[in-house]
Structure formats: C-alpha cells, structure tokens
Amino acid sequence: MIVDTNRFEFTCLHKDKVDRVRERMKDQNTMDVAKMLKAVADATRVHIVCALTIEEELCVCDMANIISCSVASTSHHLRTLKKAGITTTRKEGKTVYYTLEDNIMVELVMKMVFEQNKVSV
C-alpha cells in the first residue's frame, strides 16, 4: 500500500502495525525526553550531574572550580540543565545554588557512568 501525505509519499507494508504504533505513541511526550537527552549529551554537563550526586547542593562558583571552567561557562551549562528539568535552583542573596531534580534522567546518566567505569577497569 502506498500512503500519500501532504509532505511525502512512502510505502506501508503493515498498515495495522503502523496504525497501532501511532495510536499508542500519540500521547507520548517525546519532545521533553529529547530535551533532557540533549542537555546531558555533553561531557561537562554529565560531569556536573555526577558532582551533584556526590554533593547534593553546589553554588555556581564551587561547581566552576570542580569542573575547571569559568563561572560564565558553568552558569551556561547549569542553565541548560535547569531548562531541561534536570536541576533546580535556590537563591541566597546573589548566590545561586543548584540541586538535582528527582527524575529518571539522573538515574540513567549515573547508571551509564557507573557501567562505563566498570568497562574501563
């Protein structure tokens, strides 16, 4: 069967399977998952997540010291993680403190780091 859409034309061998998968996936929020994956697809941000699993709350300047980056660069990375819902903040005067949100992405990143360390040893 050839399916014609407004954008393109393609062959569909198993329409029943295609329809079933589309129906089950229509309510899934894949964009938020993609944003989270994109946010942790950077070695520096993975390093930040790891640091925040060791020390629950860190200010930007301490994190900059840990990851050996400028405060400006560190702030950028932390903002990216916050926008993706991986970290949260609290302010004390002019100092911003970051903590990890309780979500599966943190667990996934840490499991991957742990498994990679086992392979490397």
Taking only the tens of pLDDT, the chain with its 121 residues reads 555 556 667 788 888 998 999 898 888 888 888 888 999 999 999 999 999 999 999 999 999 999 999 999 999 999 999 999 999 999 999 999 999 998 788 888 888 888 888 776 5
In a domain, 14, yes or no: no
33: CATH: 1.10.10.10
In a domain, 108, yes or no: yes
- Which domain, by its residues, includes 38? 29-120
In a domain, 103, yes or no: yes
Total domains in the chain come to 1
The helix (H) or strand (E) run that includes residue 92 is strand 87-92
In a domain, 83, yes or no: yes
Query: Measured between alpha carbons, how far is 2 from 63 in angstroms, rounded to an integer?
Result: 55
